[in-house]
Amino acid sequence: MVLSAMFLALAFVMPFLTGQIPEVGAMLCPLHIPVLLCGFICGWPWGLAVGFIAPLLRSFVLTMPPLFPTAVCMAFELASYGAVSGLMHNFLPRKKPYIYCSLLTAMLVGRFVWGVAMMVCTGINGSGFTFAAFIAGAFTNALPGIIVQIVLVPILVMLLDNPKISKLRD
C-alpha cells in the first residue's frame, strides 16, 4: 500500500517535471510510467487502482487534465496499464524478454481501452472520434512517451525486482 501511494504521488508530480520541456512535455506521457511501475511492482490490483485514480485526482485538484473527456478516458487507459502489466508480470517468468512482453501488451491494451473510452465519451458529447484521431492520440502524438516507456520501465522493473531490493520492500 505504501509503494502504491508513492507511485500515485509520482504520477501527481511527474507532469510538473515533464511540463518544463517545451513542445514534448505532454508527449512524454508522464502519468504512464508510475502507473506501469506500480502494476509491475505492487501487482495488478494496486496498478489498476493507482491508474484509475491518478488522472482523476490531478483533474480534481489541478484541473489538468480536463475532467471530461480527457481525465475520464485516461483513468480507464491507465487502469488497464496497471492491471495488465501487473497480471502479466505475475504470470510470466521474471526475465527481460517477458518484462518487455508484459510492457508492450499493457501499452497496446491501454491504448485500445483509451480509444474505446474516447469513442464512448465523444459519442455522449455528440461529436465524433475517428480512426485518424485514435492513431494520432494513441501513437503519433505519444511517440516520445512510448520510446521513454520502452527504454525506462524495463530497466526500473529489473532494478526494483532485484531480490536484494525486494527484501528491503518486505
Helical pair 32-42 and 96-125, crossing angle rounded to 10 deg: 130
**Amino acid residing at 81:** Y
Q: By the 8 A CB rule, do 28 and 144 touch? A: yes
Angle, alpha carbons 165-166-168 (nearest 5°)? 65
Encode 99-116 in three state secondary structure. HHHHHHHHHHHHHHHHHH
Of 99, 80, 84, 86, give the one whose Cα is nearest residue 162. 99
pLDDT tens for the 170 residues of the chain, in order: 899 999 999 999 998 888 777 677 678 888 999 999 999 999 999 999 999 999 999 999 999 999 999 999 999 999 999 999 999 999 999 889 999 999 999 999 999 999 999 999 988 877 788 889 899 989 998 999 999 999 999 999 999 887 766 665 55
Domains by residue range for the chain, with CATH: 29-169 (1.10.1760)
Q: By the 8 A CB rule, do 85 and 48 touch? A: no
Cell 482523476 sits on residue: 56
What is the pTM (predicted TM-score) of this model? 0.92
